[in-house]
Amino acid sequence: MNKKHTKLLAFDKNHVWHPYTSMSSPLPSYLVASAEGVHINLASGESLIDGMSSWWSVLHGYNHPKLNSALIEQSTKMSHVMFGGLTHQSAIDLCEKLIRLTPHGLDKVFLSDSGSVSVEVAMKMALQYWHSKQSENIAYKSKTKLLTVRNGYHGDTFAAMSVCDPVTGMHQIFEQVLMQSYFAPAPSIAFGQLWQAEETKALRQLFEQHHDELAAFIIEPIVQGTGGMRFYHPQYLKECRKLCDQYDVLLIVDEIATGFGRTGKLFACEWAEISPDIMCLGKTLTGGYITLAATLCTDDIANTISEGEAGCFMHGPTFMGNALACAVANASIDLLFENDWQQQVNTIEHQLTSLLMPLATHTRVKDTRVLGTIGAVECLQRVNVAHIQKRFVELGVWIRPFGKLIYIIPPLIINNEQLTTLVNAIATVLDEDDCFISNE
């Protein structure tokens, strides 16, 4: 590490917030010089195989020539223009693609800046929908609450936080200001296990009791990501659709982590063959290049809101429809199909399954599971993040575990040899006591 790097890191440590770590005694940060393909290159010289896709967002690898040129080409026309009163081809092309690719019925697109904001938009749409609904049925106006399941994660802004798991989402800190939502137990039957009808009993009761107050039900489809990489039975999502229809509640599906092939389907909703009323997309939308999110909804929702009291939907971010972001999103979606994403995902799933399976019998391991490009090793003990991270870097990989979970979600372009290096690194740290915090 040279002097310049030491100085940069010292400033970073003293002044720059990083996610979910203390500012007074932060977890260490590693200085990155560049990234290319599946490699993250540290300023100190190590080249790490990326197992995280920069929090699920990278699909085709870093520094991709086609994505780079989409950005450059767009920037020579314009990087951004306001979306109020103006529009442009990159945004129009992207919305056309999203409507065509997502499940049937999602025909209106609202572009925004980040996943959390797209969830805010989805929730606001649901609330404004019921508020706008023309009817003698005055009860519609009281449909102002959200129902969700435990273990969920939907973002860090206030409305999104109100539907995150109350425990891991730390609701007690913000209790006084958070919207109060209803929580059903988390889905418990895993993907691939035998379905049992009792699974949705508690959920049904909540619909029965509270449907008069419920604007929407929100859920991550098939994979509860941040809540522990839990893969649940598609029938659960099917039942959610049925309950929403039966009780006149909108279904919001948060595909921010699962969208664009990650679970083996282009969208995880397809596992249950359902269409939601509102869908949120983010993370992989630009192939990991720039922040961009989208909230899609049905014609009915858009029309009802537009014909309601306000006459329009009350939201409009400054950087809505950012041209650079839309251009790179278009290029990333084109690449998915050029590269045959289904084949890429199936290959990774197959390789990950055979690589991770042997770890299932390790004394430190509670469960290993794979779905699409997501591989998870659930341990019996919590990891020591600072130490395990250091060990992973020494082993030439970038994997960032949380809680008891060591997981990988690599870019689609990863090959078998690189995947093997990732899994071997996990196998190595499982044997090291200092990588874990003892349970007492």
Nearer to ligand PLP, 282 or 321 (CB): 282
Please list the alpha-helical segments (H only) found in 248-338: 299-306, 323-338
Q: Tell me which stretch binds ligand PLP (CB under 6 A): 45-53, 60-68, 104-112, 254-262.
A: 254-262
Which has the closest alpha carbon to 255: 232, 284, 215, 231? Answer: 284
The whole-angstrom separation of Cα 297 and Cα 342 is: 26
Query: Is 108 exposed, middle or buried (CB count within 10 Å of its CB: 0-12, 13-18, 19+)?
Result: buried
260: contact with ligand PLP by CB under 6 A: no
Q: Tell me which stretch binds ligand PLP (CB under 6 A): 5-13, 72-80, 147-155, 402-410.
A: 147-155
282: contact with ligand PLP by CB under 6 A: yes
Asked if residues 61 and 411 have their Cβ atoms less than 8 Å apart, the reply is: yes
Examine the residue annotation and report whether 141 is marked as an active-site residue of this protein: no
153: contact with ligand PLP by CB under 6 A: yes
Q: Tell me which stretch binds ligand PLP (CB under 6 A): 148-156, 175-183, 210-218, 402-410.
A: 148-156
Work out which of 95, 147, 257, 345 binds ligand PLP, going by CB under 6 A: 257
Q: How far is the CB of 56 from ligand PLP (least distance, A)?
A: 6
Asked if residues 107 and 303 have their Cβ atoms less than 8 Å apart, the reply is: no
Which has the closest alpha carbon to 410: 361, 333, 355, 363? Answer: 355
287: contact with ligand PLP by CB under 6 A: no
Helix (H, G, I), strand (E, B) or coil at 402: strand
Q: How far is the CB of 8 from ligand PLP (least distance, A)?
A: 25
Q: Which of 232, 283, 289, 407 is catalytic?
A: 283
In angstroms, how far is the first alpha carbon of the chain from the final one? 37
The whole-angstrom separation of Cα 318 and Cα 320 is: 6
Nearer to ligand PLP, 113 or 365 (CB): 113
Q: What are phi and psi of 145, to 5 degrees?
A: -115, 160
262: contact with ligand PLP by CB under 6 A: no
220: contact with ligand PLP by CB under 6 A: yes
Q: Which of 129, 254, 265, 404 is catalytic?
A: 254
The pair of three-digit structure tokens given for residue 75, joined into one six-digit string: 């920037």
228: contact with ligand PLP by CB under 6 A: no
155: contact with ligand PLP by CB under 6 A: yes
Examine the residue annotation and report whether 340 is marked as an active-site residue of this protein: no
The pair of three-digit structure tokens given for residue 77, joined into one six-digit string: 């026309």
Binding to ligand PLP by CB under 6 A, coded x per residue (else -) over 114-143, reads xxx--x------------------------
CB-closest chain residue to ligand PLP: 115
Asked if residues 83 and 318 have their Cβ atoms less than 8 Å apart, the reply is: no
Examine the residue annotation and report whether 434 is marked as an active-site residue of this protein: no
Q: How many residues bind ligand PLP (CB under 6 A)?
A: 15
Nearer to ligand PLP, 256 or 385 (CB): 256
Say which DSSP state 259 is in. Answer: T
The pair of three-digit structure tokens given for residue 39, joined into one six-digit string: 């490699």
Measure the CA angle with vertex 153, ends 269 and 317; round to 5°. Answer: 85
Nearer to ligand PLP, 163 or 429 (CB): 163
Asked if residues 403 and 383 have their Cβ atoms less than 8 Å apart, the reply is: yes
Which positions touch ligand PLP (CB under 6 A)? 114-116, 119, 153-155, 220, 225-226, 254, 256-257, 282-283
- Give catalytic residue positions: 20, 153, 254, 283
